[in-house]
Amino acid sequence: MQIKTVMVIGAGQMGSGIAQVFAQSNFDVKLNDISEASLEKGIASIEKNLNRSVQKGRLTEVEKVEIMERLSTTTSLQDASDCDLVIEAVVENMDVKGKVFKQLDEITPAHAILASNTSSLPITEIAAVTNRPEKVIGMHFMNPVPVMKLVEIIRGLATSDETYEAIETTTKALGKTPVEVNDFPGFVSNRVLMPMINEAIYTVYEGVATPEAVDEVMKLGMNHPMGPLQLADFIGLDTCLYIMEVLHEGFGDSKYRPCPLLRKYVKAGWLGKKSGRGFYIYGE
């Protein structure tokens, strides 16, 4: 099947990046959000990224204008009625995603593939709210989307081979590398990454070392480009807590118990970079 027109739902840090890479790869993209302010912010961040590419000589001014012309914004899901592919990147909440997929199932044409960028929620459960579970799939981009090469593609229980192949081809058309995984809590990326971040938070909680020291050990000692606590701040501490809860509940194993310090920070509204404070302080 030929994918030409795409809708991205949610214009936050992930959705705007996803919209950008699709527009850069010649797809027509509709960016949807319930909030006009989020749409404006999303488009502004795409334009800022493209301007930086122009300054660095990676893109011409004409190409930038063409990319921006392929992007449109809307607050109405009805505009998905002519889309071949929809990628949902709204908040990490099953109720919200369930409602979005139910509506999309009614609005989009029968051939359309419905993908979710969820970090951890079960694709099989999201698919079950629709009448086309064979056309529902996980398309998990990494943050920041324009930079990171990986797309983890998650097959739900009912996802068809045809759907998988269409998404694999599309991922390659974006210049990204697809990796196929099955639907289990945290998939591969967050099942491996989040327990490490959680353990790093435990080392701070238990007074083993400061956040700076933990990050320095992992950067210099393990050759990680960024320490786990800085990475947690970038991902968002609320998202990190949510993913640990999904792992804890999904596997019922105490090794996934979220660190009490992580809970405390989230309760305090210290959500990392996006709120100005997490393990580090930002924007001062």
**Binding site as annotated, residues for NAD(+):** 10-15, 33, 92, 97, 119, 143, 274
- The answer to the question of residue 43 lying near ligand NAI (CB under 6 A) is no
Instruction: Report which of 123, 102, 100 is spatially closest to residue 246, judged by C-alpha positions.
Output: 123
Q: How far apart, in whole angstroms, are the C-alpha atoms of residue 271 and residue 43?
A: 23
Of the candidates 6, 8, 10, 105, which one interacts with ligand NAI according to CB under 6 A? Answer: 10
User: Contact 85/112 with Cβ under 8 angstroms?
Assistant: yes
Q: Where are the alpha helices (DSSP H) in 25-72?
A: 36-55, 61-69
Tell me the window of 29-37, 104-112, 163-171, 174-182 that interacts with ligand NAI (CB under 6 A).
29-37
Binding track over 163-202 against ligand NAI, x by CB under 6 A: ----------------------------------------
- The answer to the question of residue 278 lying near ligand NAI (CB under 6 A) is no
CB 253, min distance to ligand NAI, A: 21
CB 6, min distance to ligand NAI, A: 15
- The answer to the question of residue 275 lying near ligand NAI (CB under 6 A) is no
Of the candidates 5, 74, 143, 182, which one interacts with ligand NAI according to CB under 6 A? Answer: 143
Q: Is the dihedral of CA 74, 79, 85, 91 positive or negative?
A: positive
Q: Is the dihedral of CA 149, 41, 70, 138 positive or negative?
A: positive
Q: How far apart, in whole angstroms, are the C-alpha atoms of residue 206 and residue 217?
A: 16
- The answer to the question of residue 235 lying near ligand NAI (CB under 6 A) is yes
Which residues are known to be catalytic?
119, 140, 152, 190
CB 190, min distance to ligand NAI, A: 8
Tell me the window of 12-20, 66-74, 194-202, 204-212 that interacts with ligand NAI (CB under 6 A).
12-20
> HSE (CB half, 13 Å, CA atoms) of 49?
21
Residue 98 makes CB contacts below 8 A (sequence gap 6+) with: 126, 129
Give me the residues paired with residue 89 across strands. none
Tell me the three state secondary structure of residue 8. Answer: strand
User: Which residue ranges make up the site for ligand NAI (CB under 6 A)?
Assistant: 9-15, 32-35, 38, 89-92, 96, 100, 117-119, 141, 143, 235-236, 239
